[in-house]
Structure 1
Amino acid sequence: MSETVLYRWPPNAGFHRAVPKTKFYEHGNVRTALREKFVDEVRRITWAYKLADDTIRLRGTTAVPEIQVFTVETKGENVSDDVLTAIDKSVHFPIIFEIVSNGHVRTVAAHKSLQGKAVMIGAYFTTVWQVADAPRRPLPAALDLPSLYEAILTALLPIETRAGETVAEATDRIARARRLQREIGGLERKLHTESQLNRKIVLRRQIRERTAVLTELTDPLPRDRE
């Protein structure tokens, strides 16, 4: 689903302000290893666009007061999720990242919840790399910023959302599916080295059971559909 998502951001929302990497060190406890990743991986960070009521005439809420678009230019081939998380945690708004490397770009974002005392950031989802001058699509039609944010994130998900399912719910489903995939992989490795027949039977049953649950989790329609 997410292979070709590259948005044409509204000119009125342009902000285009370079942000020093050190700004992100000032918020929270940034360990030495993470600082080194910023130094080694990031060439420049630009606060590129601000999607808000005063720029694109879509009303925000406490959950999504604004949406920021950050461009991260890399020194090498990529940038790690740890770096994106550090940026995300230091900005109290949802962020859509565009990672730029060697004439190519990809869109990256994680579901970010501002509810409660702590900001909650889910797993990052990304498009494939595309040439930097690839055609861009208009922003999804939306009535307000929360619905725009939901639509942008939905386009980045690696699975199809179910009817009535929120991005947060889909993200949780993806996380459970990924955990199951790791479990199945571990069981298959054990099966490959197991010599006792009774243990092989148990392992095969566990793999079948987990595979059935994984199939249900990745099905765009729930099993109890009519």
Structure 2
Amino acid sequence: MSDPHVDMLYRWPTAARFDRRVPKEKFYRHGTVTAAVRDKFVADVQRITWAYKLAESTVNLAGNTTVPEIQIFEIDAKSNDVTESVLTAIDRAIPFPIIFEINRGSGETQVTRMVAAHKQLTSGAPKIGNYYSTGWQPARTERRPLPASITLPALYTALLDPLTPVDARPGEDVSEVAARLHTVRKLEREIAALERKLGAERQFNRKVQLRRALKTKQAELTVLVER
């Protein structure tokens, strides 16, 4: 399994630099942003920058309908962090997969974390999975080169792979990884519920049944998270 708090940042290609500031108000007007989420934008966000555009024209990798481009958004936090509801509102407003870099502090004390969710584009609203993040790290840390990839969908899968608690399997695309993550989360909840029941159960026969069910679920989880 990948470490969901691995410390790393990518070195985005200079040719893909977009560097456009995006007013927060643009996201207020999109869809059904609630007053509570609008308040989070005001409280959490100092600045939003559309920093890089990874596309065939900038990185010479072909996209498709599921990953036509990959956008990199930098968000400067007003204080400690930016809540997921803000990230979700941005993700829903932009019709491309997004990798976020959140910055807090300034100068020598500035730290950054990279965060993203598996985002599946559909004919309607995009399907956005759980958000996964690196740990906070010095903004001036040495950045890694982009993973070697021959298409944008493959690059997107590779970019997200270190963030998520399951490793992408050879040939697996982002929708397949997202589906497996969804099942992993479901199994983890079921296992936790069975463990609680087992701890509270006093009847021997029922304990045996619960242990058997628990072992089955644990075995299913092992198969899903192994490479």
Question: In the alignment, which residue of structure 2 is the partner of 1:64?
Answer: 67
Deviation digits for residues 92-119 of structure 1, max 9, x if unmatched?
1111111112321111122222233332
Instruction: Give secondary structure in 2 for the equivalent of 1:59.
Output: coil
Shifted more, 206-215 versus 160-169: the winner is 160-169
Answer yes or no: is 1:212 the counterpart of 2:215: no
Q: What are the residue-to-residue correspondences of 1:179-190 with 2, within 5 Å?
A: 179-190=186-197
Q: What are the residue-to-residue correspondences of 1:12-91 with 2, within 5 Å?
A: 12-91=15-94
CA distance in 2, matches of 1:6, 1:69: 12
Question: In the alignment, which residue of structure 2 is the partner of 1:191?
Answer: 198
Deviation digits for residues 129-176 of structure 1, max 9, x if unmatched?
211111101122233322322321233332222232223212221221
Letter in 1 for 2:91: D
User: Does the Cα contact within 8 Å between 2:51 and 2:72 map onto a contact in 1?
Assistant: yes
User: Does the Cα contact within 8 Å between 1:154 and 1:167 map onto a contact in 2?
Assistant: no
Answer yes or no: is 1:124 the counterpart of 2:131: yes
User: Does the Cα contact within 8 Å between 1:60 and 1:144 map onto a contact in 2?
Assistant: yes
The alpha carbon displacement at 1:61 in A equals 2.9
User: Does the Cα contact within 8 Å between 2:156 and 2:174 map onto a contact in 1?
Assistant: no
Letter in 2 for 1:134: T
TM-score calculated relative to the size of structure 2:
0.87
Taking CA–CA contacts closer than 8 Å with sequence separation of 6 or more, which of the two structures ends up with the larger relative contact order?
A: 2
Judging changes above 3 Å, is the alpha-carbon distance between structure 1 residues 162 and 146 closer, same or farther for their aligned structure 2 residues? closer
Q: What are the residue-to-residue correspondences of 1:148-167 with 2, within 5 Å?
A: 148-167=155-174
Unaligned runs of 5+ residues in structure 1 are 221-226
Letter in 1 for 2:129: G
Question: In the alignment, which residue of structure 2 is the partner of 1:6?
Answer: 9
Alignment: residue pair count: 220
Unaligned runs of 5+ residues in structure 2 are none
Q: Percent identity?
A: 52
Question: In the alignment, which residue of structure 2 is the partner of 1:136?
Answer: 143
Instruction: Give secondary structure in 2 for the equivalent of 1:5.
Output: coil
CA distance in 1, matches of 2:190, 2:204: 21
Question: In the alignment, which residue of structure 2 is the partner of 1:223?
Answer: none
Letter in 2 for 1:53: E
CA distance in 2, matches of 1:116, 1:136: 35
User: Does the Cα contact within 8 Å between 2:43 and 2:78 map onto a contact in 1?
Assistant: yes
CA distance in 1, matches of 2:98, 2:42: 21
User: Does the Cα contact within 8 Å between 1:5 and 1:156 map onto a contact in 2?
Assistant: no
- Root mean square deviation, CA, Å: 1.9
The alpha carbon displacement at 1:72 in A equals 1.3
CA distance in 2, matches of 1:109, 1:65: 17
